[in-house]
DNA sequence: CCATGTCAGATTGCATACGATTTAGACGTG
DNA sequence: CACGTCTAAATCGTATGCAATCTGACATGG
């Protein structure tokens, strides 16, 4: 899989170029324009964004740190290819963290933010009704964004960072092990969670969230099929 | 505050030198040989570990990513100086995550691992009984290690990584806002948690853990004293 | 005496150069 | 035809040089 043309970053970033590149690649990964296993060579990334290898490398290091990319010494960086076990860990972590996030969000959510959530859900619905791969990608992203918005209003920057990592890794996992085309079934669940939040029913919101995560994970096929057998069998021990 | 002599890294690291440097600095931060606010210049770090600025820079970037170091563009890297608000976020995150960690640890803990915990607690106690700053540092580190061991046996690498970040940041917070010399009071609580784990009483272990975290946080003085006012006031909005 | 403007030194951001390591393909041999 | 070896290209890891930026000191003017 190859990255297409030269990408022009959102202009307003004269500084922190590696951070901008990180986000661009990150987005490409979470909406699956970059498949797991894809090689990301420093030279290629550098050329693509028109920077030197130094800054491309920095971006890849950041991505490696948040688990979206795996680097092998003297071999390069590859889009992560999480094992079924890693996949389970991702969702175990989310089950642990997200109920707490909704609980903290409950107290701090302003009416304006509720309105923002509503708009977000509308957008989700809109993407769902559209056809085509672009709409699909947008839908995936929007679905993750719901969880990130929640983390954002929780007011805890650390948890927010953790959630960013977990949501991104979830995308990878779903790309690899997702059974139904998309775990889009989640939209109505998002709605229900928001309703519970609006009614200040924290118990229910947390329960719905856990249910939602269970639901996503249940849609995966985590039997260690994907391994063509050998390659992955030998990387475990 | 200056870093003293040249440091020789644990020999067995011919590869991943930046990772080794990261850990060395990390350790220096968590047992408070490096005070919050200390400047870490690329050249100085590089000279200290006898590497080029390139690899020193990589180490600093990693530390920045896990929140132990803050970099300001064109100004350099500094040991983080968490605000009271960040401090609260650290403990809020721990309160959220650690009960889950003990729950997962409960199921997977082997007798051998229990033995390991006992030894760890003995070491904690030993450091507590000794005098001198070196013993104090060892005690702080050992205290954090208890929590990290717990995360380790939980079998979830992602949570383990999160906990490493949180424990390290906690050290910074305690260094800044700790009231009593040390939050060493925690030792008996560690013991109690381990007892509960051994008795397979997950409820109690989780409750004790929360209590323990509350206890640590209660020992802090998080009134926003340190702000000389202006500098911090302007960095918020 | 304090405030403001200017300059030198220091430090970072980035690009590039070079050696080391890995990989792929050619080639010869059993 | 299969297999092992060797060479060459590609790619990474690291060091270093240069330009841009910041800090602090000093000079100047109010």
Per-residue model confidence as pLDDT tens digits over A192-204: 999 999 999 999 9
Closest Cα to residue B106, out of B186, B184, B187, B208?
Answer: B208
10 Å Cβ neighbour count for B12? 7
Cβ B131 to strand C below 7 Å: no
Cα–Cα distance, B166 to B144 (Å, whole number): 10
Of A73, A93, A104, the CB nearest to B159: A93
Chain A contact for B55 (CB, 8 A cutoff): no
3-state SS, chain B, equals CCCCCCCCCCCCCCCCHHHHHHHHHHHHHHCCCCCCCCEECHHHHHHHHCCCHHHHHHHHHHHHHCCCEEEECCCEEEECCCCHHHHHHHHHHHHHHHHHHHHHHHHHCCHHHHHHHHHHHHHHHHHHHCCCHHHHHHHHHHHHHHHHHHHHHCCCHHHHHHHHHHHHHHHHHHHHHECCCCCCCHHHHHHHHHHHHHCCCHHHHHHHHHHHHHHHHHCECCCCCCCCCHHHHCCCC
B69 forms beta bridges with B79
Is residue A190 classed exposed, middle or buried when 0-12, 13-18 and 19+ CB atoms within 10 A define those classes? buried
Of A61, A66, A93, the CB nearest to B156: A93
- pTM (two decimals): 0.91
For chain B, which domains are there? 14-79 (1.10.10.10), 84-219 (1.20.120.530)
Chain A contact for B51 (CB, 8 A cutoff): no
Go through B95-113 and write b for each residue having 16 or more CB atoms within 10 A of its CB, e for each that does not: bbbbbbbbbbbbeebeeeb
Contact across the interface for A96 and B96, Cβ inside 8 Å: yes
Cβ B75 to strand C below 7 Å: yes
Low-confidence residues in chain B, pLDDT < 70: 1-14, 180-185, 224-237
Residue A182 pLDDT: 57
pLDDT in tens, A180-189: 655 556 788 9
Residue B1 pLDDT: 42
Q: Which two tokens stand for residue B45?
A: 């770090």
Contact across the interface for B100 and A104, Cβ inside 8 Å: no
Who wins on pLDDT, A161 or A229?
A161
Which residues of A are less than 8 Å from B80 in CB distance? none
Cα–Cα distance, A142 to A124 (Å, whole number): 6
Residue tagged 């260690």 (tokens) = A224
Which residues of B are less than 8 Å from A100 in CB distance? 96
Cα angle, residue B104 at apex, residues B124 and A173 outer, rounded to 5°: 125
β A76-79/A69-72 pair status: antiparallel
The maximal CA–CA distance of chain A, rounded, in angstroms, is: 54
Residue B29 pLDDT: 95
Cα–Cα distance, B134 to B144 (Å, whole number): 16
Mean pLDDT of the region A227-235: 48
Which residues of B are less than 8 Å from A157 in CB distance? 86, 89
Residue A5 pLDDT: 40
Closest Cα to residue B34, out of B76, B81, B72, B74?
Answer: B81
Residue B183 pLDDT: 53
pLDDT in tens, A12-32: 456 789 999 999 999 999 989
Residue A3 confidence class, pLDDT cut points 50, 70, 90: very low
Cα–Cα distance, B65 to A61 (Å, whole number): 10
Give B96's Cβ-side CA count (13 Å radius): 27
Residue A128 pLDDT: 87
Q: Which of residues 125-164 of B touch A (CB under 8 A)?
A: 156-159, 162
Residue B90 pLDDT: 98
Cα–Cα distance, B89 to A156 (Å, whole number): 6
How far does the CA of residue A100 sit from the closest CA of chain B (Å)? 6
How far does the CA of residue A96 sit from the closest CA of chain B (Å)? 6
């Amino acid at each position: 899989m190859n990255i297409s043309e030269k990408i022009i970053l959102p202009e307003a970033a004269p500084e922190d170029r590696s951070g901008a590149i990180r986000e661009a690649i990150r987005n490409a990964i979470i909406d699956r324009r970059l498949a797991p296993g894809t090689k990301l060579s420093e030279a290629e990334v550098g050329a693509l964004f028109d920077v030197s290898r130094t800054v491309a490398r920095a971006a890849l290091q950041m991505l490696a740190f948040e688990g979206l990319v795996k680097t092998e010494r003297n071999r390069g960086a590859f889009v992560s290819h999480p094992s079924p076990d890693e996949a389970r860990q991702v969702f175990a972590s989310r089950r642990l963290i997200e109920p707490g996030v909704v609980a903290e969000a409950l107290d701090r959510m302003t009416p304006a933010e509720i309105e923002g959530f509503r708009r977000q859900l509308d957008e989700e619905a809109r993407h769902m009704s559209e056809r085509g791969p672009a709409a699909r990608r947008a839908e995936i992203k929007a679905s993750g964004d719901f969880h990130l918005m929640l983390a954002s209003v929780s007011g805890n920057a650390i948890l927010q960072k953790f959630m960013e990592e977990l949501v991104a890794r979830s995308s990878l996992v779903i790309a690899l092990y997702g059974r139904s085309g998309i775990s889009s079934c989640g939209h109505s669940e998002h709605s229900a969670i928001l309703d519970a939040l609006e009614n200040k029913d924290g118990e229910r919101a947390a329960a719905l969230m856990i249910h939602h995560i269970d639901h996503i994970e249940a849609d995966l096929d985590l039997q260690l099929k994907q391994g063509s057998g050998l390659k992955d069998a030998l990387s475990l021990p």
